[in-house]
């Protein structure tokens, strides 16, 4: 095992074909885990050369290490038993074709790199039924999301935030009963609300912000109670219209059951210790539902539209004033009063304004360092 993560280590390390560092690794034939993440190293590592030299390696984590990772894509079969490959922010530029043959891969994090072009069709073969986390956020991926993920029965995190993809949410995701996090924010997806996402029994985080979704967000489903385990819902900056999805709020049982003021919800096992609902910058109508006040773990709720100088409600919404039992930031309260909004009792909820951001906030919270076991 080689664990040097989360330090301030510096220095030049080059792992290239026939280089001295590679020769050193070649002598460590029993090495199974390497984690150099979150350091300040320098150097270039040739991925396939390294993996070919370490046949027993199960885990390779170089995320935010300062190391730049390259691949010549000259070798299609290297270390078929690798289980975790985390290369976030490693200046990686292309998909490595050697990943295709890694049938035991459980976590693949290539986020915050320089990968461009289409997502390859063969990506659905990575890990087969072992893959639990796929994180390709913050790259320059284009075209549509291929609908080729039929084998990922254990998938828990599908994170492609902040790319240049378009089209629709791949319908193949509806088969993944283990799916907990779906983050497709900051894209150009264009369709009506994919209501089948509500059928996923374990979904805890759904981020579809800053896309071109349109139409009503409340649609029919074969499941009576949708989104019961949901903790984070972000549909902001889209083109949704009609009534607020109040039936979703009524079903948010996971947000209601919190033991103690400062405790985490018991159901959380992906590292989330707060709840966010953001429906801002749409064209919803109607009232903010009363049930919102009884979502005990709710930390942030945004139903408004905002510009550079003030916080503006969606023009047809009625919401909250600072009445008994309600605590709102002064800047928000003053805006609400300007719209002559209806006074509503909201229990003990503390309304906290949250600015919508496009910098991959969800990706930072949900990476390959999740705890997927019981909290």
Tens-digit pLDDT profile for residues 152-180 = 889 999 999 999 999 899 888 888 899 99
Residue entry with tokens 């023009």: 315
Which residues have CB under 8 Å from 261's CB, separation 6+? none
**C-alpha torsion 37→103→142→180, nearest 10:** -70
Count the residues in the chain: 375
Q: Quick check: helix, strand or coil at residue 94?
A: coil
Work out the pLDDT band at 139, boundaries 50, 70, 90: very high
Nearest to 116 by CA among 89, 91, 139: 139
Do the beta carbons of residue 89 and residue 63 sit within 8 Å? yes
Distance CA(219)–CA(194), nearest Å, equals 9
Closest CA to 218 of 191, 198, 190: 198
Q: If we measure between CA atoms, which residue out of 93, 81, 27, 91 comes closest to residue 56? A: 81
**Could you give the C-alpha distances from 191 to 109, 140, 162, 179, in angstroms and in order?**
27, 21, 18, 21
**Spatial separation of the C-alpha atoms in residues 128 and 150, rounded to whole Å:** 9
**pLDDT range class, residue 21, cuts 50, 70, 90:** confident
Low-confidence winner among 195-199, 268-272, 323-327 (lowest mean pLDDT):
323-327
Q: pLDDT (tens digit, 9 = 90+) per residue, 207-224? A: 999 999 988 876 555 555
Distance between CA 137 and CA 86 in Å, rounded?
13
Instruction: List the Cα angle 227/228/232 in 5-degree steps.
Output: 60
- Split at pLDDT 50, 70, 90, the class of 362 is very low
What 8-state DSSP symbol labels residue 44? E
pTM of the model: 0.77
- The arithmetic mean of pLDDT across residues 32-43, rounded, is 95
Q: Shortest CA distance to 370 belongs to which of 67, 82, 159?
A: 159
CA gap 91, 100 in Å, rounded = 20
Q: How large is the C-alpha radius of gyration of the chain?
A: 23
Per mean pLDDT, which range of 132-146, 162-176, 267-281, 332-346 is the poorest?
A: 332-346
Residue-range domain boundaries for the chain: 1-100
Is the pLDDT score of 250 beyond 70? no
Average pLDDT in the chain = 73
Q: Which residues of 260-285 are buried (b: 16+ CB within 10 A; e: fewer)?
A: eeeebbebbbbebeebbbbbbbbebe
Residue 322 pLDDT class (50, 70, 90 cuts): very low
Is the model more confident about 96 or about 310?
A: 96
- From the CB of residue 350, how many other CB atoms can be counted at a distance below 10 Å? 13
Which tokens is 291 given?
């049930």
Neighbours of 219 (CB within 10 A): 14
Contact 224, 251 (CB under 8 A): no
What average pLDDT does range 87-112 have in this prediction?
93
- What SS3 class is residue 40? strand
């Amino acid at each position: 095992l080689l664990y040097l993560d989360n330090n301030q280590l510096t220095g030049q390390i080059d792992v290239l074909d026939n280089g001295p560092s590679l020769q050193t690794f070649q002598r460590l034939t029993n090495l199974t885990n390497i984690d150099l993440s979150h350091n300040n190293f320098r150097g270039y590592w040739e991925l396939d050369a390294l993996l070919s030299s370490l046949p027993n390696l199960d885990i390779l984590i170089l995320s935010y290490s300062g190391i730049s990772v390259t691949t010549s894509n000259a070798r299609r079969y290297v270390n078929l038993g690798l289980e975790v490959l985390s290369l976030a922010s490693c200046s990686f530029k292309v998909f490595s074709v050697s990943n295709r043959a890694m049938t035991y891969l459980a976590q693949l994090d290539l986020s915050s790199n320089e990968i461009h072009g289409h997502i390859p069709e063969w990506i659905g073969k990575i890990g087969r039924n072992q893959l639990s986390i796929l994180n390709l956020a913050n790259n320059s991926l284009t075209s549509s999301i291929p609908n080729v993920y039929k084998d990922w029965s254990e998938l828990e995190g599908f994170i492609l935030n902040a790319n240049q993809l378009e089209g629709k949410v791949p319908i193949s995701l509806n088969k993944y009963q283990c799916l907990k996090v779906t983050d497709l924010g900051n894209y150009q997806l264009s369709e009506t609300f994919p209501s089948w996402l509500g059928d996923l029994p374990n979904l805890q985080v759904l981020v579809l912000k800053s896309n071109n979704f349109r139409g009503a967000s409340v649609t029919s489903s074969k499941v009576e109670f949708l989104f019961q385990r949901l903790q984070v819902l972000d549909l902001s900056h889209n083109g949704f219209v009609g009534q607020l999805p109040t039936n979703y709020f009524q079903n948010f049982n996971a947000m209601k059951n919190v033991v103690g003021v400062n405790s985490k919800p018991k159901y959380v096992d992906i590292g989330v210790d707060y709840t966010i609902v953001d429906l801002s910058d749409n064209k919803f109508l109607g009232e903010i539902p009363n049930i919102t006040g009884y979502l005990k773990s709710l930390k942030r709720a945004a139903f408004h539209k905002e510009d550079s100088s003030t916080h503006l409600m969606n023009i047809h919404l009625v919401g909250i004033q600072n009445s008994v039992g309600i605590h709102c930031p002064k800047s928000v309260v003053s805006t609400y009063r300007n719209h002559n909004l209806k006074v509503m009792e909201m229990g003990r909820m503390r309304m906290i304004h949250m600015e919508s951001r496009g910098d991959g906030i969800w990706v930072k919270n949900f990476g390959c360092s999740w705890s997927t076991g019981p909290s």
